[in-house]
A and B are shown apart, each in its own frame.
Chain A
């Protein structure tokens, strides 16, 4: 049985997937609120059917992708509808499919019905769990650190929700920088303390140097596993030509 060929094949396939994850991170290095993705592999041991020390071989297999939830850099923009969270906590969003998600995307625009939406169309949730709806006449708003939305003359018109998401790195990644809770999770839990900054945007948390290093490593590892397949092929070819030579 040609185990070496399969071994290098699974290895190359897994490295291919890891490269896809890195490529996606690099593509989103300039996407505000983006959280870098990571992929984890584990060893899968399988019986080879051979006797002795070679009776088992271990293949690499991907077990899951997760999000790096480290904070991105905060950049002042001065735009009143740009919100960022300093420290922990998540903004809550209602996606266009009606699902509740969390995210750190804070580049918002006001729609004609007064909702605050991201560029992807997900609407920001208030502290009560429903979408924030601003009255039409509220065009100048100020948002306090605890998320309280008020008008210039001091009327409180709502509160931006800050939620906590336990194990958020395992939540399902969605387009638009959203993370969906696993199926059995209940409604979002408000965070104990949160720090909303108005006029700031949180950049992508992708570390360019780290991703480029990873890319180089992956490429070289891919070449190694391909060389392994090549060597195994050479070895077999040599064996066949030597054994196949008639004795003289």
Chain B
């Protein structure tokens, strides 16, 4: 009897599901976070009888006896939908409204990508993420800056001292990917490009198909708490059902052991 093992695969899969849901709920308030979703698929089927086998002269078995061996978590996909935009009033907060990622330079010189635009200034006046990673291309805010403006197409300007005309500091570019879902999350709201995502394509915000930059806004997490709670209930009940299968299979084996 395979029922014991089959039930175990079901429990394992729902355990993965609960892990993914728990991570979503934990990040329900994380800027720029994208909800994940575990995708399941049924495992292979074991053929106990083959269809097409001869059952007599000129007759054959029309149907096979194929017994499925359970379920597996085939992958965790990210839902790349837009999160809500929240006004913060903070001078260096930016949100992407539409497609695209901010480009970040990590300490080892490689690039990472993020939707989290809660930037601050380093001691040298560079625009950095909350972890101190540089925003690419580097933008240095001069001393005595009274106000920073970022246009929807990503041009950063600063009013320095008492000047009436703003200085242009640089242009924020957005990276897009052929396959956003292929980006690898590495924590700290950062993603790395992979073979599956394809190379980053840099573009100015507001170009066709590219999002625009909303200054003094942040993109909230796109986790829908109600959906996560209902998913959690479904996952827990499915887990319970599988444990019932396990008990039934166990008791059946026990019955077998009791006959002499």
Q: Check: A58 CB closer than 8 A to any chain B CB.
A: no
Residues of B17-53 contacting chain A, CB below 8 A: 17, 37, 39-45, 48-49, 51-52
Task: Please report the C-alpha to C-alpha distance between residue A216 and residue B256 in the assembled complex, in whole angstroms.
Answer: 16
A-chain residues with CB within 8 Å of residue B63 when the two chains form the complex:
40, 63-66, 170
Q: Check: A22 CB closer than 8 A to any chain B CB.
A: yes
Nearest CB on B from A136, distance (A)? 5
Q: Check: A107 CB closer than 8 A to any chain B CB.
A: yes
Task: Please report the C-alpha to C-alpha distance between residue A186 and residue B88 in the assembled complex, in whole angstroms.
Answer: 61
Assuming the contacts A109-B77, A112-B179, A226-B256, asked whether A19 and B1 have C-beta atoms less than 8 A apart, the reply is yes
Binds A, one of B2-10, B117-125, B135-143, B161-169: B2-10
Nearest CB on A from B209, distance (A)? 6
Q: Check: A172 CB closer than 8 A to any chain B CB.
A: yes
Nearest CB on A from B91, distance (A)? 31
B-chain residues with CB within 8 Å of residue A28 when the two chains form the complex:
10, 40, 42, 68, 70-71
Assuming the contacts A62-B48, A77-B79, asked whether A112 and B40 have C-beta atoms less than 8 A apart, the reply is no
A106-122: CB near B (< 8 Å → 1, else 0) gives: 01011110100011100
Check B41–A79 contact: CB distance below 8 A: no
B-chain residues with CB within 8 Å of residue A29 when the two chains form the complex:
10, 238, 241
Assuming the contacts A20-B6, A30-B235, A222-B255, asked whether A39 and B65 have C-beta atoms less than 8 A apart, the reply is yes
Q: Check: B251 CB closer than 8 A to any chain A CB.
A: yes
In this complex, the interface size class of chain A, counting residues with CB under 8 Å from chain B, is: 35 or more
Check B65–A17 contact: CB distance below 8 A: yes
Nearest CB on A from B42, distance (A)? 5
Nearest CB on B from A4, distance (A)? 12
B-chain residues with CB within 8 Å of residue A111 when the two chains form the complex:
179, 182, 196
A-chain residues with CB within 8 Å of residue B81 when the two chains form the complex:
78-79
Check B45–A26 contact: CB distance below 8 A: no
A-chain residues with CB within 8 Å of residue B52 when the two chains form the complex:
182-183
Task: Please report the C-alpha to C-alpha distance between residue A166 and residue B238 in the assembled complex, in whole angstroms.
Answer: 32
Q: Check: A233 CB closer than 8 A to any chain B CB.
A: yes
Q: Check: A147 CB closer than 8 A to any chain B CB.
A: no
Check A230–B9 contact: CB distance below 8 A: no
Nearest CB on B from A23, distance (A)? 4
B-chain residues with CB within 8 Å of residue A62 when the two chains form the complex:
48-49, 65
Check A170–B6 contact: CB distance below 8 A: no
A9-53: CB near B (< 8 Å → 1, else 0) gives: 000100011011111101111111010010110000000000000
Check B259–A230 contact: CB distance below 8 A: yes
Q: Check: A173 CB closer than 8 A to any chain B CB.
A: yes
Task: Please report the C-alpha to C-alpha distance between residue A70 and residue B6 in the assembled complex, in whole angstroms.
Answer: 23
Nearest CB on B from A27, distance (A)? 3
A residues neighboring B (CB under 8 Å): 12, 16-17, 19-24, 26-32, 34, 37, 39-40, 62-66, 77-79, 105, 107, 109-112, 114, 118-120, 136-137, 139-140, 170, 172-177, 182-183, 208, 211-212, 215-216, 218-219, 222-223, 226-227, 229-230, 233
B residues neighboring A (CB under 8 Å): 1-3, 6-7, 9-10, 13-14, 17, 37, 39-45, 48-49, 51-52, 61-71, 74-75, 77, 79, 81, 99, 176, 178-182, 195-198, 209, 234-235, 237-238, 241-242, 244-245, 248-249, 251-252, 255-256, 258-260
30 pairs, CB–CB < 8 Å, chain A vs chain B: A17-B65, A19-B249, A23-B6, A23-B10, A23-B245, A28-B10, A28-B42, A31-B41, A34-B40, A62-B65, A63-B61, A64-B64, A77-B79, A79-B79, A105-B41, A112-B178, A112-B197, A119-B39, A119-B74, A136-B178, A139-B178, A139-B209, A140-B209, A170-B63, A172-B45, A175-B42, A215-B244, A218-B248, A222-B255, A229-B259
